[in-house]
Amino acid sequence: MRTELTVAAVQFIPAPGDIAGNLQKTLVGSQAALDQGARLIVFPELSLTGYDLGLLKDSEYWFVPDDVRLDPVRILARKTGATIVVGAPVISDRGKSIASVVLSPCAPDVIAPKTHLHGEEPAVAEPGQGPTVIDCGGWRVALAVCYDTAFAEHAASARSQGADVYAASVLYTEGEEGVLSERLADRAGFNGMWSIAANLGGFPLGSRSAGGSGVWSPSGQPIAAATGRDAELVIATITSPADR
């Protein structure tokens, strides 16, 4: 396993419903992270569509496994050796899910469904069955989507599967700043894992973003954090247990 991994949490502002435009911004954000050495790049919940559940009544906003619309991001991952995690609604043989989609250098795409649905989400999607854990250059990375971070057992299950990193794609709005930081610190500290959160910026759901994208150490301490509530790139280099 590599002893160091540079990670990026991309605080991202999608245009609701503009998949083509959001994909282009994903490429720009990914390249900016790559230019700073990132090899794991995490985008927020539903980064490719924006968080507007009303859109999901229309089939054009749903992605499928190996969706050709993701080819530019997929090619970038394979060309650079990076793992890029985007947020999208996905329909597959497991049903409809709000998911993280993992585009990696040499493996098929991985769909990581949200386990714990919230609010009106059960009307449009089905829950996943616990955290999905992937390999990223020898690091074990568990994927979480937003409300998953509220459940200590979700992160504990990830750790029991050997996860070194808990990477969450989230939507937290103004007034939830403390909730976001406390949850990710707890998930890191109680399980001895690095934790990452990439939050939607701007005005998701018509409310101001909480900002707060960042990286927490296995002791629960923040080591990098967004300074604002709009588009921002948070970069950190994390170390394997032998180097902590």
Summarize pLDDT for 139-154 with one digit per residue, the tens. Answer: 999 999 999 999 999 9
Region 51-65: mean pLDDT is: 96
Domain coordinates in residue numbering, the chain: 4-243
User: Facing residues of 88 across strands?
Assistant: 99
Summarize pLDDT for 1-21 with one digit per residue, the tens. Answer: 558 999 999 999 999 999 999
- CA distances to 21, 52, 227 from 10, rounded to whole Å, are 16, 19, 12
Summarize pLDDT for 96-134 with one digit per residue, the tens. Answer: 999 999 999 988 999 999 999 999 999 999 999 999 999
Look at the block and give the residue holding tokens 């098929």. Answer: 108
CA 165 to chain CA centroid, nearest Å: 12
Q: Cα dihedral sign for 14, 43, 177, 154?
A: positive
Region 18-38: mean pLDDT is: 98
Q: Which two tokens stand for residue 237?
A: 């280099």
Task: Give the pLDDT confidence score for residue 120 in this predicted structure.
Answer: 96
pLDDT above 70 (res 239): yes
CATH number belonging to domain 4-243: 3.60.110.10
CA 33 to chain CA centroid, nearest Å: 14
pLDDT above 80 (res 183): yes
**Coil, helix or strand at residue 208:** coil
Residue 212: which of 194, 192, 195 has the closest Cα?
Answer: 195
Confidence of residue 244 (pLDDT cuts 50, 70, 90): very low
d(CA 153, CA 94): 23
Task: Give the pLDDT confidence score for residue 241 in this predicted structure.
Answer: 61
Residue 148: which of 203, 87, 207, 62 has the closest Cα?
Answer: 87
Cβ neighbours, 10 Å, residue 210: 24
